[in-house]
Amino acid sequence: MTRLTKNDLSGLEQMLKRYDIGLANRTGLSLRAIACAAAGIQEDRFLQAAGSNSVYVVPVTAGEGIISGFAQSVGSIIEYLGFPANVSCGQDVSGFAEAVDGGASIVFMADDQKFIAANLATGCVIDNAAATARGYVAALNAMGKGLKGCDVLVIGAGRVGTVAIAFLKQLGANISLFELNPKRLQRWKHTGINIEKNLFKVLPQFKYIIDASPEPEFIDLAHLHPDAAIAAPGIPLGLTGEAYRVFKERVIHDPLQIGVAAMLSMAVR
Ligand code: 2YC
């Protein structure tokens, strides 16, 4: 899993409104609506939950330690969506105890292996990878005005790609998968998923792409269908700078926003 840097998060809080407008221009949906589509709940249910939940974000020092601005960025996204959110003063166990003492019903925290939202009332634990996958598929589904019967290429069958495939199946898409790792590929043989062997040969044929790979800048302008819509949860972005400049109005890509929003909606559904 790619570890975010302080630079990835700079300005995120200040640009949330502008980001949300950009998302609506691309998908027709707000960040909140995409989160609700990812969780399969109505927006009024989400807003009702906002009035009856308190969220804490707890910084965690494990592994490579605290990412400057990470907990604050997560908290700002949660607040932007209408839920009261606090970042605990304490870290790790102290921070968790502070959250519980502070009346938290939902706690967000991340080490280098997992980023979770835990609903203390229901015992439900949501993983960022699954939430990110569902959020990005919901965004692509909105961009395509419904993906039923549409050909969609998933690049990468890791934790995000695997959940993206499952959700795309639910939406009735015709799924093709490109995955470099033969062991990861093995599980998808004989499942009705079309396995692509030569990525750059077939990429130009796909109008809908989910780039769930951590590979940087491998998708060039020449590789893209002129009408391509790309949902890119993978960090860093797989498009080259040139491809991004031309396609940016049809590219969904952010370091945290959709994943955190979907974690929240899935934690309260
Ligand atoms: O500041 C802190 O509490 C750190 N322990 C947070 C570490 C997060 C590591 N994970 C990531 O950077 C990526 C994100 C894209 C979301 C999921 N993993």
pLDDT in tens, 24-57: 999 999 999 999 999 999 999 999 999 999 999 9
Binned at pLDDT 50, 70 and 90, residue 167 comes out as: very high
Ligand 1: which atom is nearest the Cα of residue 65? 5
Q: Is the minimum distance from the CB of 67 to ligand 1 under 6 angstroms?
A: yes
> Is the bond into 236 cis (omega within 30 degrees of 0)?
yes
Q: Is the minimum distance from the CB of 235 to ligand 1 under 6 angstroms?
A: yes
- Condensed to tens digits (0 to 9), the pLDDT of residues 59-102 reads 999 999 999 999 999 999 999 999 999 999 999 999 999 999 99
Q: Is the pLDDT of residue 1 over 80?
A: no
Tell me which of 7, 56, 60 to substitute to probe ligand 1's pocket, judged by most ligand atoms within 8 Å of the beta carbon. 60
Tell me which of 58, 67, 254 to substitute to probe ligand 1's pocket, judged by most ligand atoms within 8 Å of the beta carbon. 67
pLDDT of residue 240: 98
Q: Is the minimum distance from the CB of 34 to ligand 1 under 6 angstroms?
A: no
Q: 71, 57 in Cβ contact below 8 A?
A: yes
Q: Is the pLDDT of residue 177 over 90?
A: yes
DSSP labels, 250-265: GEE--SSHHHHHHHHH
pLDDT of residue 59: 98
Q: What percent of the chain has pLDDT over 90?
A: 98
Query: What is the pTM (predicted TM-score) of this model?
Result: 0.98
Q: Is the pLDDT of residue 2 over 90?
A: no
- Condensed to tens digits (0 to 9), the pLDDT of residues 217-261 reads 999 999 999 999 999 999 999 999 999 999 999 999 999 999 999
Among the listed residues 60, 113, 104, 42, the one whose alpha carbon sits nearest the alpha carbon of residue 78: 104
pLDDT of residue 268: 98
pLDDT of residue 147: 98
77: its two tokens: 């996204």
Ligand 1: which atom is nearest the Cα of residue 67? 1
Q: 37, 131 in Cβ contact below 8 A?
A: no
Ligand 1: which atom is nearest the Cα of residue 59? 3
Q: Is the minimum distance from the CB of 1 to ligand 1 under 6 angstroms?
A: yes
Pairing of strands 115-119, 174-178: unpaired
Q: Is the minimum distance from the CB of 60 to ligand 1 under 6 angstroms?
A: yes
- Condensed to tens digits (0 to 9), the pLDDT of residues 181-195 reads 999 999 998 898 999
Residue with CA closest to ligand 1 atom 15: 4
Q: Is the minimum distance from the CB of 58 to ligand 1 under 6 angstroms?
A: no
DSSP 88: -
Backbone angles phi, psi at 55, to 5 degrees: -110, 135
Q: What percent of the chain has pLDDT over 70?
A: 100
Q: Is the pLDDT of residue 263 over 80?
A: yes
pLDDT of residue 225: 98
Q: Is the minimum distance from the CB of 132 to ligand 1 under 6 angstroms?
A: no
Backbone angles phi, psi at 185, to 5 degrees: -70, -35
Q: Which helix (H) or strand (E) holds 132?
A: helix 128-143
- Condensed to tens digits (0 to 9), the pLDDT of residues 213-228 reads 999 999 999 999 999 9
